[in-house]
Amino acid sequence: MSFKSVNPADGNTIREVDAFTHEQLESTLQSVADATADWKVRAIEERCALMQEAAAVLRKHVDEYAEIIVQEMGKPITEARAEVEKCGLVCDYYAETGPRFLADEIIETDAGRSLVAFQPLGTVLAVMPWNFPFWQVFRFAAPTLVAGNTGLLKHASNVPLCALAIESVFHEAGFPDGVFRTLMIQSSRVADVIADPRVHAVTLTGSEPAGREVAATAGANIKKSLLELGGSDPFIVLEDADLELAVHDGITSRFLNTGQSCIAAKRFILVEAIAEEFLQRFKAAVESLPFGDPMDPDTRVGPLARIDLRDALHHQVIDSIAAGAVPVTGCNPEARDGAWYQPSILDRVAPGMCAWSEELFGPVALVIRARDEADAIRIANITDFGLGGSVWTADSARGERIARQIDCGCAFVNGMVKSDPRLPFGGVKHSGYGRELSQLGIREFVNAKTIWIR
């Protein structure tokens, strides 16, 4: 068994990486277990200094890592470089804030002294996706390792070279052997790793079915889990919105990473008063997007990550059109080798269509018409997902009021939904539970221990 690294721009195999044998998996798990006892008692200042070194390594090799990302999953090179740079940012953030976030909290009680201490749980397994193959890992790894935990990475099977490169970052930065290791294992072997007594918690970013399996296994073994799953983010445009700004940010939000983002603007909910004007402007912007070679710095939309993902997306599109959705532009695979799909818009999306109820993970924008503000809020919340959402209006107070009514983990007013190390990130409903980033993120995998002293 091996993992194939395939370039989605042309379908050519770059390299194959052998899967771990039983003996290799056992050896790796034990090496991490051996490192855990020492790592968790090291001074946090030491852990933070090493995390700053990891940031320096990322910046030193930014072009090399970005090229691996492009070759393995097709991300446009300019975005790939930005992703690696953002990983350096999150490493620096937790290196600087970790000591403050994890400092003892003194609580006044009837004791002579009482406090809450934040202590590491042990080893955390991360099951990570291919769409942001560096960022998703580092937003877990930076806070987890600074907190004194060790890390295991089970990366998506189509990005094995990214997985190996990430492990090399921590090695080059000087982290002790075993503090962070990559597992080259199939998904079918994940449950056994979660159940292993040397693993103490698990975090997953991925699909809803994968989340259900990981959560069930973690629960059966009474281990902490965090899930960041899919999204169907609403992008509500009201009658008083700045349409130029809304179209500009809507294009970025929907087509960043070729539309392969959980927090992309999936559903453009337009009140009738501005629907036609917005759609006219939006169509022109979509049709002018630079679409092609992901190694070209000017490219905005490249190939999807895999052929099967492109085919699944097209099936959702044609099913929705058959049910009454109106194709505005695109809505077809591109006739060339590789996993290409045209930047697309589907209008008049309505209940009963798969585009209404399912997440479309690719460069397809869905337009839904709303009568007014109240109808837009109602439509925004008719979904099993609850990751992000945005509201576009000239009245910021109105926008905040509406943002508070959207069922999601992060709501933005006059700005596209994005992750920021300073702000907690995560969802509700079928988008998962738990929070990454900010102070909440570093405290997800610690023991908040009460200490009471007479």
Residues annotated as catalytic are 228, 262
Query: Which DSSP letter does residue 415 get?
Result: S
- List the beta bridge partners of residue 301: 291
- Answer whether 105's CB lies under 8 Å from 449's CB: no
In this structure, the number of other CB atoms found within 10 A of the CB of residue 63 comes to 11
Check if the beta carbon of residue 353 is closer than 8 Å to that of residue 319. Answer: yes
Beta bridge partners of 228: 205, 432
CA distance 194 to 356: 35
CA distance 238 to 271: 6
User: What is the distance between the alpha carbons of residues 201 and 121, in angstroms, rounded to a whole number?
Assistant: 8
Q: Strands across the sheet with 326-329, in order?
A: 326-329, 344-347, 364-370, 265-271, 233-237, 388-392, 410-413
Q: Provide CB contacts within 8 A for 333, sequence distance 6+.
A: 310, 311, 314, 340, 341, 342
Cα(399)–Cα(390) distance, integer angstroms: 9
Residue pair 319/349 in contact (Cβ under 8 Å)? The answer is no
CA distance 266 to 262: 9
The dihedral region occupied by 429, where left means phi > 0, alpha psi between -120 and 50, and beta the remainder, is left
C-alpha span between 67 and 90 (Å, rounded): 21
Encoded amino acid at 165, one letter = A
